[in-house]
Chains A and B, each alone.
With several copies, the nearest count.
Chain A
Amino acid sequence: MKKLIYLDNAATTKTAPEVMEAMIPYFTEYYGNPSSVYDFAGISKKALDESRETIANALHAKENEIYFTAGGSEADNWALKATAEAYAAKGKHIITTKIEHHAILHTGEYLEKLGYEVTYLDVDEFGVVKLDQLKKAIRPDTILISVMFANNEIGTIQPIKEIGEIAHEQGILFHTDAVQAFGQVPIDVDEYHIDMLSASGHKLNGPKGIGFLYIRKGVKIRSFVHGGAQERKRRAGTENVPGIVGLGKAVELAVNTMEERTAKEKELRDYLIDRVLKEVPYTRLNGHRTNRLPNNANFSFQFVEGESLLIMLDMDGICGSSGSACTSGSLDPSHVLLAIGLPHEIAHGSLRLTLSAETTKEDIDFVVESIKKIVTKLRSMSPLYEDFIKQN
């Protein structure tokens, strides 16, 4: 296989070798069911406890506030559905934003069908939630505010602390989907007034199929998966021991390397952004210039369609992603890019590149040259570009 420049780390990441190493014994050697009585199963139980502790520490939370799930989507579904159920007597109004991941948006729509009311807040042109709109949206029957920590497409980081303060002043629960942010930015659930937080292993060099929901002690929570007594009777199912061990290791690594890693990523990301904006005309950066995930760059190239761009990058060995309609199951362009005010045809030509610790300056140089070449080629084929040139 030719050299691969993998710049789609917001979609998923490579499982780190250290994570692999930590997991392997729990598949074939210490495979006991943590619920069993014998000593052999105690090894699995201990591994769960240690992973839970590592994760709790990373968030400044307590161990018994961490509940393992099969990933970010399950955690998001759980947070919304179970809160809706447990607090229905108080009210049936939920506030979220227009730029959430589908795991939140579609769950919100589902709850609307069940008779709940959901307010989807707008964001400004950089993708930041408007705090005054949030304040106005709060009603006596509002039971939950769910705002993502950082956006998966444009990388914008929300003013989580301010949102948490507003929620808590009003006695409303605050959930944040931190699937993209956890491991990339420091999070303190107390300082930020977070009551629930979703995260997913495969976004931080951990395994796929494992994640967690942080639930602050005292929050009334119902089960989402009913059955056995696992996870303090809150989430049934034999624990994914290797996955949980892998997640714990990944969190440990992410926390320990965060400062250095993200500083390096930011530098490369800014180098990438600067070069692309300077060297490719009719291009814009989506998201906030500084308040964004350290590894995220998101561009819109006018007159260019996203899927074509991706396929050509792929031919150069570059993996990226696009908010283009054509790459997703649905045919609507990204709801996030529309929410920040991009017109359809520009939203279509977006490119998200998300770096990892392994990304080098050489990679970025290669990518910039490739983008320049491809955008030029696609524009030369584009009727939109032809019209534009003729009109100018």
Chain B
Amino acid sequence: MYSEKVMDHFQNPRNVGEIENASGVGTVGNAKCGDIMRMYLDIDDDGIIRDCKFKTFGCGAAVATSSMATELVKGKTVQEALEITNKAVMEALDGLPPVKVHCSLLAEEAIHAALWDYAQKHDIKIEGLEKPKSDISEEEDEEDY
């Protein structure tokens, strides 16, 4: 069902855990399937993401996308991190089954939520960042039957 990359990130998730006194923490849930993802960011004074950790309650795709998202985010500037889309995460994982695309949205949203938290705490404005929804649930096209 999943690609080798997804299975690798699921079996050996990178950067699981918590960051104490993190610069920003974001928790998002997917009302549609009831899954939850939390992302911790450690951001230095130059606005570079030094460390990133996650915890996820969710399916294999949710775990793998969390793991991949932390990899992609590390070392990036805040602005660069903001541009990481769920599509980029999926591509980095060699794709996801169609029913699992929504899981990758969790990762994108979790990054945004953590960045939002960082911006709030440090009273800065990040260009292009909007207040994240706590619940993401995107309409999928159901075929009629």
A binding-site residues for B, Cβ under 8 Å: 37, 42, 220-223, 232-234, 303-305, 307-308, 311-312, 315, 324-327, 329, 331, 333, 344-345, 348, 380-384, 386
A308 near B143 with CB under 8 A, answer: no
- Assuming the A-B contacts A326-B35, A383-B36, are A37 and B1 also in contact, with contact meaning beta carbons closer than 8 angstroms in the complex? yes
- Interface range for B: 20 to 34
B binding-site residues for A, Cβ under 8 Å: 1-2, 7, 10-11, 13, 16, 18, 27, 32-38, 55-63, 99, 102-103, 143-145
* Closest Cβ neighbor of B2 among chain A residues: A311
What CA separation (Å) do A303 and B62 show in the bound complex? Answer: 15
A307 near B59 with CB under 8 A, answer: yes
What CA separation (Å) do A382 and B60 show in the bound complex? Answer: 13
A308 near B145 with CB under 8 A, answer: no
Taking A220-B144, A383-B55, A384-B57 as known contacts, 18 extra A-B pairs with beta carbons closer than 8 A to each other, sorted by chain A number, are A42-B1, A222-B145, A305-B35, A305-B58, A305-B62, A308-B10, A308-B62, A325-B32, A325-B34, A326-B35, A326-B60, A326-B103, A327-B59, A380-B16, A381-B13, A381-B16, A382-B56, A383-B27
A383 near B56 with CB under 8 A, answer: yes
* Closest Cβ neighbor of B145 among chain A residues: A233
Contact among B10, B58, B143 with A326 in the assembled complex (CB-CB below 8 Å): B58
B56 near A381 with CB under 8 A, answer: yes
Contacts of A325 in B (CB 8 A): 32-34
Contacts of B35 in A (CB 8 A): 305, 326, 348
Contacts of A308 in B (CB 8 A): 10, 58-60, 62-63
What CA separation (Å) do A304 and B56 show in the bound complex? Answer: 10
B145 near A386 with CB under 8 A, answer: no
Q: Quote the shortest CB–CB distance from B32 to chain A (angstroms).
A: 5
* Closest Cβ neighbor of A45 among chain B residues: B1
Contacts of B145 in A (CB 8 A): 221-223, 232-234
B34 near A333 with CB under 8 A, answer: yes
Contact among A326, A382, A383 with B59 in the assembled complex (CB-CB below 8 Å): A326
What CA separation (Å) do A308 and B143 show in the bound complex? Answer: 27
Q: Quote the shortest CB–CB distance from A303 to chain B (angstroms).
A: 7
- Assuming the A-B contacts A233-B143, A311-B60, are A386 and B99 also in contact, with contact meaning beta carbons closer than 8 angstroms in the complex? no
Scoring B11, B16, B35 by chain A CB atoms within 10 A of each residue's CB, the highest score goes to B35
Contacts of A315 in B (CB 8 A): 11
Q: Quote the shortest CB–CB distance from B66 to chain A (angstroms).
A: 9
Q: Quote the shortest CB–CB distance from B53 to chain A (angstroms).
A: 10
What CA separation (Å) do A64 and B63 show in the bound complex? Answer: 30
Contacts of A329 in B (CB 8 A): 99
Contacts of B33 in A (CB 8 A): 325-326, 331
- Assuming the A-B contacts A331-B33, A383-B38, are A311 and B58 also in contact, with contact meaning beta carbons closer than 8 angstroms in the complex? no
What CA separation (Å) do A383 and B62 show in the bound complex? Answer: 13
What CA separation (Å) do A222 and B16 show in the bound complex? Answer: 46
Closest 8 CB pairs of A and B: A326-B59, A307-B59, A383-B38, A383-B55, A325-B33, A331-B33, A344-B34, A382-B57
* Sample (26) of A-B pairs whose CB atoms are under 8 Å apart: A37-B1, A222-B145, A232-B143, A232-B145, A233-B143, A305-B58, A305-B59, A307-B60, A308-B58, A311-B2, A311-B10, A311-B60, A312-B11, A326-B33, A326-B59, A326-B62, A326-B103, A333-B34, A345-B34, A348-B34, A381-B56, A382-B55, A382-B57, A383-B55, A383-B57, A384-B36
Contacts of A223 in B (CB 8 A): 145
Contacts of B63 in A (CB 8 A): 308, 381
Q: Quote the shortest CB–CB distance from A315 to chain B (angstroms).
A: 7
What CA separation (Å) do A381 and B16 show in the bound complex? Answer: 6
Contacts of A234 in B (CB 8 A): 145
